[in-house]
Amino acid sequence: MVFSSVIFMGIFLPVSLILYFLAKERKTRNLILLLVSLVFYAWGEPLWIVAILLLTYVDFVFAKKVSVMSDNAGRKKFLAVIVAVNLSVLFVVKYFDFFVSSMNSITGAHLPLLHIRMPIGISFFTFQALTYVVDVYRKDANVQESYANLLLYIAMFPQLIAGPIVRYSDIDRQIQNRDENMQGFVNGMFRFSIGLGKKVVFANYAGNIATSLLTNNFDGISTKAIWVGIIMFTLQLYFDFSGYSDMAIGLGKVFGFDYKENFNYPYMANSIADFWRRWHISLGSFFKDYVYIPLGGNRKHQYFNTLAVWMLTGLWHGASWNFVMWGLFFAGMLVLERNLKKKAGIDVSKIPVTGNLLVMIIITYSMSLFYFTDIHQLLVALRTLLGIGSTISMSLAEKTIVYKYVWSMPFMVIACTPLPANIGKRIFKQDTFLGNIARSLGFCVLYILCFILIINQTYNPFLYFRF
Amino acid sequence: MENQNQSKNYHNPFQLKFSFGLVMMAMIIVSVMTLYAFTDKKTVSEKENRTLSKAPQLSVRNWFNGGFTSQLNSFLNDHVMNRDGMIKTATKFEGMMKKEQEMQITIADSDRKDIGSDALILSDRIIALCISNEDYVRDIIKYSNELYHMMPQGVNKYMMLSPTRIEFETDYCKQYTDSQADLISIIYSAVSDEVKKIDAYSPVDMACDTYGINKIYFRTDHHWTHFGASFGANALLAEFGKNLVNPESFEEIITGEFLGYLAVMHDNEIGDIPPDTYSYYDYGTDVYEDAYGVEGADITEGIHELLVDSSRAGYYTFVERSYQYVVVEGGNKGGGVLMMVNDSYGNALVPWIAKQFDKIIMIDPRVFNGGKQKVLELVEEYKVDSFMINLAGLVVGSSFGGEMKRMCE
């Protein structure tokens, strides 16, 4: 089920809230939240719900075992088995066909493909399950004694299919002991409506322009037009994904959970490293804590570790060579940035405005690696962006698309900065009467407006669902 | 961190309850609008001209293949309360985000473009853009030349390309279109020298200056008016050495208002655009009573019926276009026989010229499927002495040339 759909807004959410708040006891509330979450997932993936139930059960049993084992070597082996089980499911449904078809094209073999349709959100819930078993292994979190509670952590509908990746240790206690209150409800619903607005108004709109230029008019596209298209895709990706995170965090707040922030104005970053501290924070910190540091971090094989993490980050986003290239591109940029600072004394982040601009140009350029999954198209796009082998000026058809929409770009750019939130905070102080009225009215306007817009829009799933 | 929420402070429960109430109210409104779908009996959307989704039947198979959920989503989307009003509001809102001053530019996403799918939408008019396609232009030149070469010795050959409204619009509008003057010139220079090229551009340009563009072209349609077509007709008659027509000497009959093809095509994007007024000139319909439609259609009716066909809701200007070819009996026995390969601009022009010819055979390549053999048979059967390709400048952005190809095979 999609948050930005009639059924979610008109039926699922109100019914879930009513059932949840009618219940008085924590146990009942958790049970209701679990059941509605399972319905939420089963709505879109009626078969794969079984996989979540089974995988969670395996993790539940194995983690329990690990928690009582005293032999370190045995615990390590046991952990390796659990991780392998989780990752093998992910590998089979997401990466098997990619590897086999790559092998086929390299060797000329004809190994059969599985053609399994990837269930939505599998990368997210697999990683959440992994954080549980690893946290328990590391003794960073207590083992969960209730299968239902563990299932609730993994399958909770606000963050189930597109994150943020919530660590078990972060909400371990909240499952049993949290505070739902009216202030949290109002704030959470307002945050939800902000995310909904980002998705329905900005992301879908920017996405239409990007598709018009980069897909429908790609043949013979000019340098200027491809830049406009890629900028629009860059904006779409931010509004789409950060919008989903806003909705997830807001709904979490409504149910009394405090999820960590997933975005911190990434397009304000003044270096590539800074960008990755601000973009999809939960994924970055997952790879840092569960891959980069265990591999040795900055202490040993730093370059190899960086390469490995970014290869995996690329692959996490999709089983396709363009995502691998995207990951490697960032690995290269981070190494370059680090060496420029260390060896040449050039710190990009210290160059005001220009540094930020340069970073944004690099980020925007890299988005072509994200957009074009077809390698031939990708190579054309990469050289067209640099003005090689293409016309610079826009054709008439491109002009008509660009002139029609481009005036709204500054508004979207401003919406990517802290400016609107800062103005809002100054005028309407947090948790004051006026602030609450403004937030609830803001919710009413955005919620109803988005509902109206959704009626007129075709199915527009979130981009990160595919991961 | 963006939009951090703190939720520990609830000093004044009443104030909070008020805010909570507002949030709940919005959610209830949306829920009621959604649940209304289950009581809605509508099966057809007249505004969108389509059948609305039906409520799905739940079955094990339907559930596990995802059919039930996607059908239910469609059903709810189609039946929410006041759906038409919401779509209108959404369209207006989206229009606000798109509009550049008072103008919208609509460019069709696909390569397959119908005439008028690329358009400028203004508050009082919709204008079809002329966006040329090199392949299409090449096709028009290639197959025009093939058709001319196909004609037997002694047949005079003519070509007339007529400009459309965008060509005489303001410079601001014209920045989004290709120049038809240039394109017409390119095509004329590439077509065989033995073909006489008729300049319809200059008289229409002059007429727009003299009478105003809205008298020459429709505002909601991509065609010229009955009056506008007379200027093209006179350019043709002059080249043939025939008497010119003076539309102002005939009575103008105003039949009412209509929204043209472009308004219907861009229905979702236009606001309350004022409709066109339709008028035609009573130049003596009785003169053309022996007009015949032949091949693929059983019509034997007078020109009056061909022109004034109520089923075509206001398109009285045109001779019916949906036949493979139409033979118009002009009655002027010494006037010669003209075979014309034409689009709707030619259909609008023929009534003005018909009575000065013995016969006019009009072939519409979009529906003609007879091929080269049939064309030559018609030339022989009707003793054609003049052959003309008569198209609107807009065809350079359509696959009309490809359709002409069928006539050469």
Higher-confidence position of B102 and A420: A420
Confidence at A227, pLDDT banded by 50, 70, 90: very high
User: How high is the pLDDT of residue B187?
Assistant: 93
What residues of A act catalytically? 317
Per-residue confidence at A456, pLDDT binned at 50, 70, 90?
confident
Give Cα separations from B349 to A315, B155, B317, B393 (angstroms).
64, 21, 8, 15
**Which tokens hold the place of A142?**
């207590």
Q: Is A7 in contact with B73 (Cβ distance < 8 A)?
A: yes
Contact list, A452 vs chain B (CB under 8 Å): 86, 89-90, 93
Query: What does the alpha-carbon distance between residue B305 and residue B217 come to, in Å, rounded to a whole number?
Result: 23
Contacts across the A-B interface (CB distance below 8 Å): 182
Interface test mutation site (partner B, options A18, A394, A398, A444, max chain B beta carbons within 10 A): A444
Which residues of chain A lie closer than 8 angstroms to B19, CB-CB?
182, 186, 436-437, 439-440
* Number of domains forming the structure of chain B: 2
Q: Assess whether pLDDT exceeds 60 at residue A459.
A: no
pLDDT at position B12 is: 65
pLDDT averaged over every residue in chain A: 87
Select the residue of A46, A183, A454 nearest B66 (Cβ to Cβ).
A46
Element at A331 (helix H, strand E):
helix A321-343
Question: How confident is the model at residue A360, as a pLDDT?
Answer: 92
Burial of A140 (0-12, 13-18, 19+ CB in 10 A): middle
CA distance B329 to chain A (A): 44
Sequence-distant (≥ 6) Cβ neighbours of residue B269 within 8 angstroms: B91, B95, B104, B106, B121
Identify the CA nearest to A167 among candidates A262, A27, A231: A262
**Residue of A15, A238, A400 to mutate when probing chain B, most B C-beta within 10 A:** A400
ipTM given for this complex: 0.80
Q: Could you give the angle at which helices A396-405 and A223-254 cross, rounded to 10 degrees?
A: 30
Angstrom distance (rounded) from CA B22 to CA A444: 7
Contact: B16, A11; criterion CB under 8 Å: no
Q: How far is C-alpha B217 from the geometric centre of its chain's CA atoms?
A: 13
Q: Which residues lie below 8 Å from residue A248, measured CB to CB, with a gap of 6+?
A: A158, A159, A162, A163, A164, A195, A259, A262
3-state secondary structure of B191: coil
Question: Could B100 and A46 be called an inter-chain contact, meaning their C-beta atoms sit closer than 8 Å?
Answer: no
**Residues sharing a CB contact under 8 Å with residue A175, sequence separation 6 or more, in sequence order:** A30, A144, A149, A152, A153
Nearest residue on chain A to B101, judged by CA atoms? A404
Q: What is the pLDDT of residue B171?
A: 85
Q: Is B56 exposed, middle or buried (0-12, 13-18, 19+ CB in 10 A)?
A: middle
Residue of B nearest to A187 (CA): B5
Distance from CA of B97 to the nearest CA of A (A): 7
Averaged pLDDT for residues A178-188: 88
Domain-embedded: residue B108: no
Which parts of chain B have pLDDT scores under 50? Answer: 1-10, 100-101, 285-304, 306, 308-316
Q: Are residues B213 and B298 in the same domain?
A: yes
Q: CA A55 → CA A59, B12, B398, distances in Å?
A: 6, 46, 56
Q: Residue A18: CB partners within 8 Å, gap ≥ 6?
A: none
Residue of chain B whose Cα is closest to the Cα of A415: B2
Rg (CA), chain A: 23
Whether B97 maps to a domain, the answer reads: no
The verdict on residue B155 lying in a domain is yes
Of A216, A440, A456, the CB nearest to B109: A216
Chain B residue closest in CA terms to A408 = B97
CA-based nearest residue to A249, from A197, A203, A201, A189: A189
- Domain stops at, among B43, B62, B86: B86
A-chain CB neighbours of B55 within 8 Å are none
**What is d(CA A443, CA B28) in angstroms, rounded to the nearest whole number?**
13
- Say which amino acid occupies A1: M
Residues from chain B that touch A457, judged by Cβ atoms under 8 A, are: 90
Query: How far is B409 from B407, CA to CA, in rounded Å?
Result: 6
Q: Which residue of A has its CA nearest to B173?
A: A400
Residue B7 lies in a domain: no
- Its sign, for the CA torsion A366, A368, A374, A379, is negative
Which of A279, A455, A458, A460 should one mutate to test binding to chain B, selecting the residue with the greatest count of B CBs within 10 A?
Answer: A455
Residue range A149-163: mean pLDDT, rounded: 85
The verdict on B222 and B130 lying in the same domain is: yes
* Residue B230 resides in a domain: yes
In chain A, the N- to C-terminal Cα span, in Å, equals 15
Q: Give the Cα separation of B216 and B223 in Å (integer).
A: 9
Q: Determine whether the interchain pair B2/A212 forms a contact, defined as Cβ–Cβ distance below 8 Å.
A: no
Cross-chain residue pair B34–A407, CB shorter than 8 Å: no
Extract the tokens encoding B262.
């472009």
Closest chain A CA to residue B9: A431
Give the domain-ending residue among B86, B111, B143.
B86
> Is B289 part of a structural domain of the chain?
yes
When scoring A247, A407, A440, A447 by the number of chain B Cβ atoms within 10 A, the one with the most, hence best to mutate, is: A440
DSSP-assigned beta bridge partners for residue A368:
none
Within A280-320, residue ranges assigned H as helices are 281-287, 293-295, 302-317
Is A453's CB within 8 Å of B90's CB? yes
Are residue B232 and residue B137 in the same domain, yes or no? yes
Axis-axis angle for helices A122-138, A49-68 (nearest 10) = 10
Task: Verify whether the Cβ–Cβ distance B2 to A265 is below 8 Å.
Answer: yes
Domain that residue B53 falls in: 14-86
| Distance of alpha carbon B178 from alpha carbon A397, whole angstroms | 10
Closest by Cα among A68, A162, A82 to A123 = A162
Please state, in angstroms and rounded to a whole number, the distance separating the CA atoms of residues A291 and A235: 29
A94-150 pLDDT tens trace: 888 888 988 888 888 888 888 887 777 788 888 888 889 998 988 888 899 899 999
pLDDT of residue A93: 85
- Looking only at the bridges linking them, the beta strands covering B196-198 and B156-162 are parallel
CB contact under 8 A, B23 and A444: yes
B chain contacts of residue A418, beta-carbon cutoff 8 Å = 2
**Residue A39: its pLDDT value, please?**
92
Tokens 């202490």 belong to residue: A299
Distance CA A356, CA A458 (A): 36
| Residue B144 and residue B55 in one domain | no
Does residue B235 sit within a domain?
yes
DSSP secondary structure letter of residue B308: S
Choose from B27, B80, B121, B173 for mutation: most chain A CBs within 10 A: B27
Q: 3-class SS at A47?
A: coil
φ/ψ of residue B252, rounded to 5: -90, 125
Of all residues in chain A, the one with the smallest CA distance to B21 is A440
- How far apart (Å, rounded) are the C-alpha atoms in residues A288 and A272? 16
Chain A residues whose CB is inside 8 A of the B26 CB are 443-444, 447-448
- What residues of A are in contact with residue B89 (Cβ under 8 Å)? 452
Give the one of B86, B98, B100 whose C-beta lies nearest to A455's C-beta: B86
pLDDT on residue B170 = 87
Helices (H), A344-374: 354-371
Residues of A in contact with B77 (CB under 8 A): 6, 454-455
Helix runs in A200-270, H state only:
204-211, 223-254
CA distance A289 to A298: 12
Largest CA distance in chain B: 100
**CA–CA distance, A342 with A345 (Å, rounded to integer):** 6
- CB-based burial, B313-347: b 16+ in 10 Å, e otherwise: ebbbbbbbbebbbbbbbbbeeebbbbbbbbbbbbb
Q: Is residue B3 part of a domain?
A: no
Q: What distance in Å separates residue B115's CA from the closest CA in chain A?
A: 15
| A427 C-beta neighbours (distance < 10 Å), count | 10
pLDDT at position B338 is 95
**Which distant-in-sequence residues (6+ apart) come within 8 Å of A165 by Cβ?**
A124, A127, A128, A131, A159, A282, A283, A286
Pair (B239, B296) in one structural domain: yes
- Alpha-carbon distance values, A447 to A4, A42, A200, B21, B77 (Å): 10, 25, 10, 14, 16
- Amino acid in position B265: M
CB contact under 8 A, B107 and A14: no
**Residues B318, B178 share a domain:** yes
Q: Minimal CA–CA distance to B406: which of B362, B371, B364?
A: B371
How close is the nearest chain A Cα to the Cα of B394, in Å?
A: 15
Same domain, B288 and B394: yes
Both B195 and B302 in one domain: the answer is: yes
- When CB atoms are compared, the residue of A47, A184, A212 closest to B7 is A184
B225 vs B24: CA distance, rounded Å: 56
A185 contacts B10? CB cut-off 8 A = no
pLDDT digits (tens, 9 = 90+) for A361-411: 999 999 999 899 888 899 999 999 998 888 888 876 677 678 777 778 888
Question: How far is the alpha carbon of A316 from chain B, nearest alpha carbon, in Å?
Answer: 25
